[in-house]
Structure 1
Amino acid sequence: MSFDLAVWFESGRVSVAEATRTYERLCEGDLAGAGVVANEAVAAFHRELAARFPDLSEAEGDDVRVEASPWAAGLDVSAAHVIMPISWSRADGTAPEVLALAGRHGLVCLDPQAQVLHRPPAQRGADGLSLRPCVGLTVEDADPEVIDRAVRRLSAENWFLILERRSGHFLQVGHGPNAGLAADGFAVEHREGSMERHYRCVVSGRGEVAALVADYAAGADTWSVDVQWTGLF
């Protein structure tokens, strides 16, 4: 198995569902059905990627280059897209570099494992949320459905997430014993500016957590769940 990432060019903002359909067509070899078009940014991305991480086919016979390559198999490349199968053992170090490179070239990058679409800076909102999960890649300008899935995936191992605005305000969730709670407990904290405006509540229902996170992501003035917030400072 491998940890896969796919990049291509989109002229406008597309949804995760639309990007997933594009990816599925690309995996089937149906470029026409995928709707992707050749773009010099894709070629430039691939050149820089190959210079940093050699394709296995190009490194064949060179043990040093093969060892240096993070790929689990050959890349799927056209003038319109690149699909990269990363070895699981190398994913933590390689995937962030791929995301950064895609962003510099103005390309979208789909993580099909987590169903997350990483957009280039030009397609992000003015005050988009940064989502940092305990397990997985940081998502800039995260969509509501991506944020909700991150909440649903909280577990004993994947035990926290942080949502941060460009203003520096944030909301974070901790789950279970790693957060100093019972196995079914969730601690939600949010900070709006100074330390004196840092608050915390503890709830046991995942639905309550999802609602609080959705309220924060939407920029709501009030909370839709009746909880007891306690100031931490």
Structure 2
Amino acid sequence: MWFEEVRPSPAAASETHRRLCAGEAAAVRPHAGLSGFYAALVAEFPEAEDATDESSPWSAGLDVGDGYVLMGMQWGRAAEVAPRVVELAGQSGLICFDPQADVVHAPPALRSADALGLRSCVGLPVDDPDLETVERAVLRLSDDNWFVILEGPSGRYVQAGTGARAGAADGGYAVEFRDGSPERHYRCVLDDREQVVSVFVDFRRDPAARPTGVAWANAWL
């Protein structure tokens, strides 16, 4: 958790995180929002009082500096704690980087006004995801993580699912695009995951246009 004036790419955030973990506090600059974030965080999720304290969600003590907070949380508490951490970071105007998923969660000030939202079966929702994050989410589709959706305002979205739960054959992908209303809801079935990536990338670049390169059928008819 740290402050940046410009939203970093996942690669840049990963490098900053690596440097901070290596003890390079100068990788980021001090920021007033960090103290408020830390206070709110430990008020809700206190650090362990000692080694026998199992009530804390943290797997180790928080690493806190003038310009950053690094934290490791217990795997079994991640679903409960991680969304709140992202929310608190956003309220304090901070970058929240998830090194396991390689995802940058930007604060509202660094998001587009008409930002899209990315959700999948596994992992946290991402507001205003960059192209790299969108591509990675599609490439991670699997039997367990079988669904992903990228949605914007006014009922516009693309979504994809794999396997029987999505109405597709094994190894296939059911892909849908909705252009704001049920009558403009389109569907196709693809075998090539790179084609699915292309559909999502097209939509991320221009949510106002129907993604190209595939044969859409009107699902309403």
With structure 1 as the length reference, what TM-score do the two structures score?
0.90
Q: Provide the C-alpha distance between the structure 2 equivalents of 1:51 and 1:222, rounded to a whole number of angstroms.
A: 46
Alignment equivalent of 1:123, drawn from 101, 110, 121: 110
| Contact kept? 1:156, 1:177, Cα under 8 Å | no
Aligned residue for 2:46, secondary structure, equals coil
Alignment equivalent of 2:3, drawn from 1, 9, 13: 9
Aligned identity (percent) is 47
Alignment equivalent of 1:45, drawn from 29, 34, 37: 37
Aligned residue for 2:93, secondary structure, equals coil
Residue 215 of structure 2: aligned partner: 227
**Partner deviation per Cα, 1:58-78 (whole Å, 9 max, x = no partner):** x227x6xx3331111111111
With structure 2 as the length reference, what TM-score do the two structures score?
0.94
Residue 3 of structure 1: aligned partner: none
Residue 25 of structure 2: aligned partner: 31
Q: Provide the C-alpha distance between the structure 2 equivalents of 1:90 and 1:178, rounded to a whole number of angstroms.
A: 28
Q: How does 1:1-233 map to 2 (within 5 A)?
A: 7-32=1-26, 34=27, 36-56=28-48, 59-60=49-50, 66-219=53-206, 221=209, 223-232=211-220
Q: 1:200: how far off?
A: 1.0
Aligned residue for 1:86, secondary structure, equals coil
Q: Provide the C-alpha distance between the structure 2 equivalents of 1:222 and 1:169, rounded to a whole number of angstroms.
A: 10
**Partner deviation per Cα, 1:186-212 (whole Å, 9 max, x = no partner):** 011111111111111111110111111
User: Unpaired runs of 5+ in structure 1?
Assistant: 1-6
Moved more, 206-215 or 220-229: 220-229
Q: What RMSD in Å do the two structures reach over aligned CA positions?
A: 1.5
**Partner deviation per Cα, 1:162-215 (whole Å, 9 max, x = no partner):** 101133311111111221321111011111111111111111110111111111
Q: 1:155: how far off?
A: 0.5
Matched AA of 2:130: D
Q: Provide the C-alpha distance between the structure 2 equivalents of 1:124 and 1:159, rounded to a whole number of angstroms.
A: 27
| Contact kept? 2:186, 2:216, Cα under 8 Å | no
Matched AA of 1:166: P
| Contact kept? 1:103, 1:121, Cα under 8 Å | yes
User: Unpaired runs of 5+ in structure 2?
Assistant: none
Matched AA of 2:218: T
| Contact kept? 1:154, 1:160, Cα under 8 Å | yes
Q: Provide the C-alpha distance between the structure 1 equivalents of 2:169 and 2:39, rounded to a whole number of angstroms.
A: 50
Q: 1:222: how far off?
A: 5.1
Runs of 4+ in 1 over 3 A off after TM superposition: 220-224
